[in-house]
Each structure stands twice: as structure tokens, then as C-alpha cells.
Amino acid sequence: MRKILYALFAVVVVMSFSSCDDYETYGEKKEIERDAIKAFIRDSSIVVISQSKFEEQGNKTDVSKNEFVFLDNSGVYMQIVRKGCGEPLPDGRQTNVLCRYYEYNILDQVIQTRNDYSPRVYDKMTVKRVGTTYTASFASGMMFSSYGASVPSGWLVPFNYINVGRQTNPDDEIAMVKLIVPHTQGQAYASSSVYPCYYVITYQSEK
């Protein structure tokens, strides 16, 4: 009987050590996230430029070179595909913005959510600008139903660099950006589980 108890105790100890080995600290998860972003950048042939070079280029990224600017304050990588028609969001006011997007989980390498399958489908968010600071909440759409009203901070980063208008003639182009968003700037699940997402997003004014 004593031998059986010793054997059971040994199994419990081994399992305890095994579970400890499987546990990832927050620091380890962040390192895994950084490695996943680096691999995605490499595999996508992305050319990363500094924020200073981006500013020298007139806040533009060269799409033909697949340039993304690394934004120091947020840790977001951004490519401005189209600056967009219209004007920047007005200061001191709320604006309803319509978005079409594609969300890809970089860590798991899987499309997570999207609403770009139909030109009539949008996510609607209300955005308020105060100087260079933006706050927003989703009112409806796929992001709202998937993650709630909170808008990922990474989605707000482009507003300092794009126009948000509406297409009123065939030559008008609405703003489009590509983003690599770390978990610190991401939606609720990304933030809690520590994984980065890649987005392709268009922005246009509701009115």
C-alpha cells in the first residue's frame, strides 16, 4: 500500500512540474508576439521605415515598395494605401465613421473576423477628436458583435494621417490603410490573450 502511495505521489509531482513548464509568463507571451510579428514582416516582404523617414516623405508610405512605418508611441506598423478624399476629422466634434475591414490573427495564422465580403456591409463607429487625440466606440457591425463597443486603439492611429470623406464621384477614393497591431493596441481578445493582428481597413464618413 505504501509503495502505491509513493507511486501516486511521484506522478502528482511530475504532473505539477509539467504544468509549470507549460505555463507562459506575460513576458514570454510578449516575446512570442514579437517573434510572430517579425516573421509576418519577413514573410510578407514588408519594408519597415522609421517615423522620421515617414515624416520626411510627407507622412506617406511607398506602396510600390510595400513600406510600413513603425510608429514609436503605439508600436503599430502602418501602410497608407490611400489617404482618402475629403478632409481630416473635424476637431472638437463627433463623427460617424463607416469601416470595412479584414482581420488576421498573426499568431495563429488565421482570418479572425471580416466584413469586406460585401460593398453594402460596414462597421459603424462614433469618433471624437480633441486635437491629436481620438476616442471612439462601435455602434454596430462585426467588430461590435465580436468584441463589444470598444474600438481598438490601433484603429484610431491612422486618423492623424488620413482624410475621412465620402465618394461623391468616380474619381474619389476613400481612405485605406494596412495595420499590424500589437496586443496592447488591439481588441479585447487580442489584449487578454497577447496576440497581434493584421488589418486592412477603409474609413469613410457616414454623411
21 confidence band (pLDDT: 50, 70, 90): low
Domain with 79 in it: what CATH number?
3.10.50.40
Q: What is the DSSP letter of 169?
A: S
- The parent domain of residue 121 ranges over 71-205
Query: Comparing 51 with 117, which gets the higher pLDDT?
Result: 51
Whether 87 maps to a domain, the answer reads yes
67 confidence band (pLDDT: 50, 70, 90): very high
Mean pLDDT over the full length of the chain: 91
Whether 23 maps to a domain, the answer reads no
Per-residue pLDDT at 9 exceeds 90: no
Whether 201 maps to a domain, the answer reads yes
Query: Comparing 196 with 207, which gets the higher pLDDT?
Result: 196
Q: Taking Cα atoms as reference points, which of 68, 70, 90 lies closest to residue 79?
A: 68
Whether 151 maps to a domain, the answer reads yes
Number of domains in the chain: 1
pLDDT at 87: 96
